[in-house]
Amino acid sequence: MMGVLVILPLLIPLFAAIFCLLSWKNINGQRMIVLAGSFLLLVGSAFLLREVWLHGIQVMQIGNWPAPFGITLVADLLSAGLLLTTSLLGIFVFIFSIPNINLERKEYGFYPILMFLLFGISGALLAGDIFNLYVWFEVMLMSSFVLLSLGGTKNQLEGSVKYLVINFLASSIFLAGIGVIYGLTGSLNMAQISLLLPEIADKGLVTLAAIFFLVGFGIKAGLFPLFFWLPAAYHTPPSAITAIIGGLLTKVGVYVLVRFFTLIFFSEVPYLQPYLFVIAGLTMFVGVFGAIAQNDFRKILSFSIISQIGYMIMGLAIHTPLAIAAVVYFIIHNMLVKTNLFLISGVVYAAAGSFKLKKLGSIYAKFPFIAFLFIISAFSLTGVPPLSGFWAKFLLIKAAVASNYFIIVGVALVVSALSIIYITKIWNEVFWKKAPDGEGSEKIFYNQTSFLRLNRLLILPVVLLTIIIVAMGFYAEPFLDFSVQAAEQLFNRDNYIKVILRK
């Protein structure tokens, strides 16, 4: 019976998407369906997390075919935690999208695709089978591509073509990797692969296989030098779409890297470690410098995603339970904060009509409440204590110091300091600076109260997210405790294998 909880996060968005397709012409109906769907998804994920927290890893063998012959869905703390975060963001972005996405886009399937995206993410988080995981990545890729290109403006098309091609390359590498793994172990079930791989005498072959997944998921996660699709595409669609894609998808890539390098390629990490450190450091650096160079609200945020991913890879490279706990906390923190910042960029757009720093200004003076919301998320991102970003970085650095990796600590700290430059760039240009006269500022005559009243649905999700972010910083203990438990569970491979294979 409990297995049902595991599949609910798949079924709910799938059915919501199907019902949306059935009421294609009825946008209001679709909205109600998505509201119900994302709410149920939230409730379902919460119950799933509760179940995992209380009773350990939850498994469902699809069609009751025993593992490793059928497909297994697995929910452990990490996947259930990320699932809850995802569904939370899903409902927030949905609320935001009601005013943010225009009617034309809704008439061409925005709602069902949003649900398909959540369907894909849920699948990827729950998959216990590498080929099944591939399918979920396809679902994510296709739905995110359609969302990015929906509307067909020139910028969108240019960005989304790059997005599609490079991510398709990633999928091919991933698929080839599955072939390699299948060739080595004769299995697709992750638990069984984890069991079989150590028996292979030729470690070189296993490491080769690991490279396929490192690069394939590395592209998805936006690592250096594989991230090019990200800044090309993320700033082109409406903010709600950027928020959900920018906030979630790269982190799913990181999630899968964590999963693979704790469960499957555990013993390959020592070999890959120097590479991972170099990649982590360069990803941080290139991302932060990329962000500093930009002059567009959302482009800065896009590059900053890359820089943040670098930190997560740093944790993966250190590869101690503490470091992985840091990564878990970092992923959740980053999903929330980055989504929120993209949403805020949309609020600013609604208020001032641009994303270009040159055309913006005076938000602090005219809309202090928006400035307040921004400053919390923004400075959480740079790690100003005691906001959530601080704990993430603190844990990471602590883990690195405990294992004596001082160079990467230096890199992480320097990048942290540099990140102040791009965040204050937004703050200076968008919020503090006086708005330029003339173009772009025609909408600024609103006063704050009427703006907030008119845009309640834009503000509401941002406020709620901000509250969560603040809670995650000020009341960090349960979140940190969760991350530590999740990491310990990841390192307890025997238990994972036992639960799934019933051995």
In whole angstroms, the minimum distance from the beta carbon of 122 to other proteins comes to 11
| Sequence-separated (6 or more) residues with CB below 8 Å from residue 406 | 400
In whole angstroms, the minimum distance from the beta carbon of 489 to other proteins comes to 16
Q: Are 120 and 253 in contact (CB under 8 A)?
A: no
In whole angstroms, the minimum distance from the beta carbon of 385 to other proteins comes to 4
**Cβ-based nearer residue to other proteins, 208 or 464:** 208
Ranges assigned E (strand) in 45-95: 58-61, 72-75
Identify which of 116, 126, 222 has the alpha carbon closest to the alpha carbon of residue 170.
222
3-state helix, strand, coil in the chain (%, to 5): 80, 5, 15
CA distances for 54 relative to 43, 47, 48, 98, angstroms: 16, 10, 10, 36
The structure tokens listed for 391 are 């704990």
**Cβ-based nearer residue to other proteins, 63 or 438:** 63
- Coil, helix or strand at residue 441: coil
In whole angstroms, the minimum distance from the beta carbon of 2 to other proteins comes to 18
**Cβ-based nearer residue to other proteins, 28 or 404:** 404
In whole angstroms, the minimum distance from the beta carbon of 49 to other proteins comes to 19
CA distances for 371 relative to 243, 367, 430, 462, 468, angstroms: 18, 7, 9, 12, 17
In whole angstroms, the minimum distance from the beta carbon of 393 to other proteins comes to 8
**Cβ-based nearer residue to other proteins, 118 or 254:** 118
In whole angstroms, the minimum distance from the beta carbon of 492 to other proteins comes to 18
The Cα 154–Cα 370 span in angstroms is: 30
Identify which of 191, 200, 195 has the alpha carbon closest to the alpha carbon of residue 66.
191
Identify which of 467, 460, 463, 470 has the alpha carbon closest to the alpha carbon of residue 97.
460
**Cβ-based nearer residue to other proteins, 40 or 363:** 363
**Cβ-based nearer residue to other proteins, 104 or 494:** 104
CA angle 80, 82, 87 (to 5 degrees): 95
In whole angstroms, the minimum distance from the beta carbon of 371 to other proteins comes to 10
Give the rounded distance of the alpha carbon of 228 from its chain centre.
17
Which residue blocks in 127-238 are alpha helix, DSSP H? 130-149, 154-185, 190-196, 203-221, 229-233
In whole angstroms, the minimum distance from the beta carbon of 288 to other proteins comes to 8
Longest dimension (CA), the chain: 71
**Cβ-based nearer residue to other proteins, 8 or 180:** 180
**Cβ-based nearer residue to other proteins, 145 or 330:** 145
DSSP state, 189? B
Residue 49, exposed/middle/buried by CB under 10 A (0-12, 13-18, 19+)?
buried
DSSP state, 296? B
| Sequence-separated (6 or more) residues with CB below 8 Å from residue 183 | none
Q: Are 451 and 367 in contact (CB under 8 A)?
A: yes
In whole angstroms, the minimum distance from the beta carbon of 404 to other proteins comes to 9
Terminal CA-CA length for the chain = 21
**Cβ-based nearer residue to other proteins, 261 or 303:** 303
Q: Are 412 and 314 in contact (CB under 8 A)?
A: yes
**Cβ-based nearer residue to other proteins, 108 or 453:** 108
In whole angstroms, the minimum distance from the beta carbon of 229 to other proteins comes to 7
**Cβ-based nearer residue to other proteins, 57 or 291:** 291
In whole angstroms, the minimum distance from the beta carbon of 378 to other proteins comes to 11
In one-letter notation, the amino acid at residue 161 is V
In whole angstroms, the minimum distance from the beta carbon of 123 to other proteins comes to 7
**Cβ-based nearer residue to other proteins, 80 or 240:** 240
**Cβ-based nearer residue to other proteins, 143 or 262:** 143
DSSP-assigned beta bridge partners for residue 72: 61
Q: Are 293 and 307 in contact (CB under 8 A)?
A: no
